[in-house]
Structures are given as C-alpha cells and as structure tokens.
Chains A and B, each alone.
Chain A
C-alpha cells in the first residue's frame, strides 16, 4: 500500500511530480524551491520518470516552455520562488489567458529589495491577479496532496486555469516531516489522462493560439476567465472530496478548528496555521472560545463561504504574511473585509502582518493576538483597522532636552 517517508516539502513536491508524470518539466533554480527540480532531475537521470526536463536559462523561459508544452497538448509543470515568480510574471498572465492547465509548485519567499531568501507570501501575493488558482499548503503532506489535486482542478473543463501550490519557504520547503505517499498507480488513476481540447500538435485541425484581440472582443475573453474562477470553488471542493473518498484525507476551500462556537478567531494561511492551532488548543483548555480558520484557496477567494463561516464571530484577526503598502491592510485582510461587506451582523476585523522575510512567529505572539481579540470582543478596545506588524522592534522613545542639541 502507501508508504510513509520522512522528507522535506520540496522533496514531497518532486515525488508528486514524478507520479503525475507530466510530458514536460522546466527547471530553473532559486532558493528555496531549487530542490524540487533537483530531486526531479535525479529521477529523470535514473530513468524513474520519462518526463522531458528542460533546464531553461531563466524563470521567464521556464514558464514560457510550460506554455509551449501545454499548448502542444502535454502536461507541463515547474517550480519557483520569489524573484523567479516575479520574473515570470507576464508569462503567468499568458498561461491563464490561453487557458492552459499548467501546475506549479511555489516555495514562497520574500521579494527583494531588501534581498531576503526566507519565507513570506509577498511573491505569491504579487501574482494574485494573474488568473491562477492559488492553493496554500500548511505542511509537506498538503504540498503532496494538493499538487495531485491541482492537476484535476486545472484540467477540469469548467475551470481550465493554471494552479500554483504555495508553501512556506524553508519552514515547509526544507523541514523534514512525515509524508504519506500513494502508490504510483493510484496517482495515475486519480489524475487520469489529459485530454486537451485543441492541441497545437493536432495537424489536421490547425489552431491559432494567442491572436491579437482588440477592444471589440477583449472584454468577452476576460469574462470567460472570471467565469472559470467562479466555477473553481465548487471544483476544488469536488476534487478535494474525491481525494478524501479515495485516500482518506479530505480537502476543501479552508479548514476550520473550533470555529462553530467560537467568539474570536484568526484567519491565516500556510505553515503558521499549525502554530496557531496549538495556541487555540491551549486557549480552549483554559475555557476561551477561540477558533481558527486556515484558508487553503486564496484564489479563487471563497468570499461567500468565508462570510458564512465567520459571520457569527465577534472579532477576527487576519494574519497576513505579506503587506500591500498604501492599501488599507494586507491582501488577505482587504479581501476578507470585502467578503464581509454584505453581512448585516459582522465581526470586527483586525489586521496583523507577520513573518516577513522568514521572521519566526511564536505561540506567544499568536497568544497576544487572541488577547487583543478578546479585549475588542469585550468592548474594552476599539477595533482599529490599522495594520500592525507583529514582533516589530520599536525604538525606545527618545526625549530631546528642551533648547539643547
């Protein structure tokens, strides 16, 4: 049957790719995702997988090669982080605009400047408008499981959008965890055959991909993409349920802990959700009605589902692992606020930015958030929407002598 292995998130991603057996993979190294393609390259060299591996000369070319391969009619995958994701930014829009079901693993990392190689969500947040589905994984198991599901989600006829599976740089990409792998045959049965509707290589029915579209048609093509994104939540849930039915691990748009009867909660994505879950368990034992919502699908943003899940709370803190300077708060915060906008009764919403550039977040930091939430819920504190940087060092206030230097 299946086997349990101790390995890093990057290695788990590579194993998923091996079992998916795409026709083409493109590889360009960048910390902290490099080991995904290194591991995969060894599989290729050992003849364990027969994928065509293209060792491209930049991430822009990595995604371009994936576009070519997917248009040709094959499955195409790659992995990247940070600057690499930023460099391929324009190509992301081409992938989604041409409705190509490429799947990519992203070990999230801060964007320069300052240059920093550690994990935060600024890179993937920077791509949130590119028309890609974004699934965030908490740990190695979720990386593996989500990549397998991503293929089915992307290729679904009512979706046909590329998918990126995002996991925290170093924390998830490099930490060794237990991951349960499926059998090769099980994975192949789950992902099935790729049947592209209009492959470039169908010489009998020549197709033109990527024409110039003028103002008279452009809006219509974009509307198609929005439609696909609005079908995506349903498809993500269907595939997550199918995965669970077959393999025992169920997935959806998000995962709630102790939320039903909670008064206050945190909304968070990625590995820090694990830390938060531990804090919630502790608070519950102290009788605090604390809850947690770990968001998995950031794009599409499941606005209705989140509003329904959070409406009964008195206060919720959104923890963003990226900021959007000049915007009312971080990206997760502003999307949630928009989602709650239609509710009659709604919780107060706080915003914290945490973990930038790989800054650790500790249980006591999260505990402080809950303590503030409780004060806000009790009316002891205003629910200021000012975005606060968790664990920020402030300089002590210096008092300048009057009339002196």
Chain B
C-alpha cells in the first residue's frame, strides 16, 4: 500500500465493486513469516505436491518444474515442507530472521 493515496467517493467504482481481478497479488503477506521454506532444487523431484497444497499460491513453478518460493506472499506455514515426500525432504523450514541475515530477501 506504499504511496497510494486513498481515493475519494467520486473516484471509486460504485457499490465498492473491484474491477481489477486478482489485484491482491499486489498486497504483500510475506512479512507474516517467522519461518521460511528453503527448497533444495537438487533433491526436488518436481512432484508438485508442495505447489498443490500451498494455501498462498507461493510455490513458483515454470514449465512443470518447481523453481522457487514467492517470498512476497509466503506466510511460512510449513505445509510445503510437511507434504514433501519423506524420502525426498527437499524443503526445510528455516527461521526467517536467520534467513534474512544470511543474505537475502529473495531466493
């Protein structure tokens, strides 16, 4: 919501209709996290279970392969790590504070 002045009553669509479908993508929920998923793409078999069970559409896939995590929206629930097959364990949940310290906002 940075920098957006809120519009006045004459400017807003009537009846509070929202005409910009999916604009919630512009709202960041990444700051909810206290844990961050880290995907070891070497171990990953791209079975897509993490993507399939993510509540926040935050497992990024490209051409049928897992490529990373959407850190703008990931809330760190840990479902992805939990559903990754136990024999693969490609995802681990890391303390967010540590992950940020270790160098980055983004994977």
Contacts and interface: CB of A to CB of B under 8 A. Distances in A.
Contact of A220 (B12, B17, B18, B21): B12
A227 B21 CA distance: 27
Given A206-B21, A207-B21, A208-B21, A213 B16 contact: yes
Interface in B1-52: 6-9, 12-19, 21
Given A217-B6, A220-B9, A221-B9, A211 B19 contact: no
B5 to A, nearest CB: 12
A97 B12 contact: no
Contacts of B14: 99, 160, 224
A152 B7 CA distance: 30
Given A216-B6, A217-B6, A224 B12 contact: yes
A106 B21 CA distance: 37
A359 interface: no
A195 interface: no
A223 interface: yes
Interface residues of B, number: 13
A169 B16 CA distance: 36
Contacts of B7: 220
Interface string B76-97: 0000000000000000000000
Contact of B15 (A99, A205, A219, A227): A99
A261 B9 CA distance: 44
Nearest to B15: A99
A98 interface: yes
Interface string A76-107: 00000000000000000000011110000000
A249 interface: no
Q: How large is the interface on A (under 10, 10 to 19, 20 to 34, 35 or more residues)?
A: 20 to 34
A198 B21 CA distance: 12
A183 to B, nearest CB: 34
Q: Which of B7, B8, B17, B19 has the most CB of A within 10 A?
A: B17
Q: Which of B13, B14, B16, B18 has the most CB atoms of chain A within a 10 A radius of its CB?
A: B16
B8 A220 contact: yes
A206 B14 CA distance: 16
A92 to B, nearest CB: 14
A208 B17 contact: yes
List 10 A-B pairs, minimum CB-CB distance, nearest first.
A220-B9, A99-B15, A208-B18, A206-B21, A223-B9, A98-B15, A221-B16, A99-B14, A213-B16, A224-B9
Given A97-B15, A198-B17, A211-B16, 14 more contacts: A160-B15, A198-B13, A205-B19, A205-B21, A206-B21, A207-B18, A207-B19, A208-B17, A213-B16, A216-B6, A217-B12, A220-B9, A221-B12, A224-B12
30 contacts: A97-B16, A98-B15, A98-B17, A99-B14, A99-B15, A100-B15, A160-B14, A160-B15, A198-B13, A205-B19, A205-B21, A207-B17, A207-B18, A207-B19, A207-B21, A208-B17, A208-B18, A209-B15, A211-B16, A211-B18, A213-B16, A216-B6, A217-B16, A219-B9, A220-B7, A220-B8, A220-B12, A221-B12, A221-B16, A227-B9
